[in-house]
Amino acid sequence: MAESTEEVAVLVQRVVKDINNAFKRNPHIDEIGLIPCPEARYNRSPIVLVENKLGVESWCVKFLLPYVHNKLLLYRQRKQRLNKDELIDVTCTLLLLNPDFTTAWNVRKELILSGTLNPIKDLHLGKLALTKFPKSPETWIHRRWVLQQLIQENSLPTFVKKENLATFPTERVQRIVQEEVEVCGEAAGRYPSNYNAWSHRIWVLQHLAKLDIKILLDELSSTKHWASMHVSDHSGFHYRQFLLKSLISQTVTDSAILEQSPLVSEHISDLPKDDNEEDTSAEHHRVVDLSHLLEEEVELSTDLIDNYPGHETLWCHRRHVFYLQHHLNNKLPHSQMRLSPVDSNGGTLNDLNLSPAVTHMTQAMDVDGLNDSNKQGYSQETKRLKRTPAQDSLGIEMEHRFIEQILSTCRNVEQARFANAYRKWLVTLSQ
């Protein structure tokens, strides 16, 4: 067993080299893991490569981690020099063992900024780290920094304007968004209610996709099945609430336009279309039928509540959707959600007339977004909701009937409790 400092140094150098070689031998490694192995087998490397999975035997971690950790700190304190390759290998090893070691990510930031490290490598490294540490906050934070670097790189345009039509994301941005959505989806599957993964997904839609309507709609339909199979995943359902809210804020929903919508979509189909862009331009300009989307969401909620009794997440989701529906149905003057026209620059948070504190956070995390994060706004809206006329009470009546039906047939104690709580909430709304 390696115990003396020299032996440890030799072991560590060998392990770092083995990890590096493993990546060279197999550039398609897609998962890392720890192999519980309390004792070293004589003279065998603790690095195991099976198919596309990289494993580290647990016995070596207690030697490896403090050593490389210390090495990096000494470099940072300028007590030890490390050349760029050594830095890359050391930080890579460190981050695969502990991706929440911010200093290691920061060293890599410096390497990226000086042009010595390709930022794509960090996206790859982060993706690997997330297979073992799907929540790792520092990994997600660094990822956002890297994405911002990539987007600004070469000052390439990220959005294109087509004739008089709205802007929509370039293919490059679409690919990046697609990849991020996949990484988030995987991480969400590895840990229940993975807030960090879902917040990242929201950030990507806000800052990379700029809440592009087609992408929002695609996300809504592609997460439907996932949500149905993860009925206690609060974060997953919160994401759907975000999508619906964003669709509302990104679409013209003036009551006049809503009534005309069949005419508007016909008119759009008569517009001259580019040969290549036929579908995209039409899709980017369809008027989103918000009422229909919300109705579908209510149906989904009903279906899931009926089939999977006793999940609070589903009831919380129902409250949110009901709330959104009634905003729309009553066509209330939206002082909190001033709706940006379809052809604006992707609809930034600035368009939504939010409080100054929120608009400064364009690059920061604003997971709740829109008006819900503003507590004042919430109570203003609820007050307005409480004053609304008979239109609203029809919806509330239907909800009460739904609750009755649940209570009369359910055999699950929790389900009854949630149904009763929902009923109480509805009653406070109409007071």
Interaction between residue 302 and other proteins (CB under 8 A): no
Which of residues 45 and 371 has its CB atom nearest to other proteins in the complex? 45
Q: Can you tell me the distance from the alpha carbon of 403 to that of 380, in angstroms, rounded to the nearest whole number?
A: 27
Instruction: Compute the CA torsion angle 84, 85, 88, 92 (nearest 10 deg).
Output: -160
Window of 51-59, 122-130, 173-181, 264-272 that interacts with other proteins by CB under 8 A: 51-59
Interaction between residue 231 and other proteins (CB under 8 A): yes
Window of 6-14, 44-52, 277-285, 382-390 that interacts with other proteins by CB under 8 A: 44-52
Q: CA geometry: angle at 236 spanning 306 and 227, to 5°?
A: 40
Interaction between residue 23 and other proteins (CB under 8 A): no
Q: From the CB of 306, what's the least distance to other proteins, in Å?
A: 8
Residues in 108-147 at the binding interface with other proteins, rule: CB under 8 A: 131-132, 135
Interaction between residue 61 and other proteins (CB under 8 A): yes
Q: From the CB of 346, what's the least distance to other proteins, in Å?
A: 36
Single out the residue of 8, 14, 17, 53 in contact with other proteins (rule: CB under 8 A): 53
Q: Which of 71, 73, 78, 27 is nearest to 49 (CA)?
A: 27
Q: From the CB of 291, what's the least distance to other proteins, in Å?
A: 27
Interaction between residue 79 and other proteins (CB under 8 A): no
Task: Give the C-alpha distances (Å, rounded to integers) separating 372 from 33, 165, 382.
Answer: 39, 30, 11
SS3 123: helix
* DSSP category for residue 30: -
Interaction between residue 222 and other proteins (CB under 8 A): no
Which of residues 119 and 134 has its CB atom nearest to other proteins in the complex? 134
Q: Can you tell me the distance from the alpha carbon of 344 to that of 232, in angstroms, rounded to the nearest whole number?
A: 37
Q: Is 201 in contact with 180 (CB distance < 8 Å)?
A: yes
Window of 33-41, 106-114, 332-340, 357-365 that interacts with other proteins by CB under 8 A: 33-41
Residues in 80-109 at the binding interface with other proteins, rule: CB under 8 A: 97-98
Q: Can you tell me the distance from the alpha carbon of 391 to that of 370, in angstroms, rounded to the nearest whole number?
A: 25
- Which two tokens mark 334? 């939206």
- Which two tokens mark 359? 């608009």
Q: Can you tell me the distance from the alpha carbon of 303 to that of 113, in angstroms, rounded to the nearest whole number?
A: 51
Contacts with other proteins by CB under 8 A lie at: 31, 33-38, 48, 50-51, 53, 55, 58, 61-62, 65, 97-98, 131-132, 135, 189-192, 229-232, 306-309, 311, 411
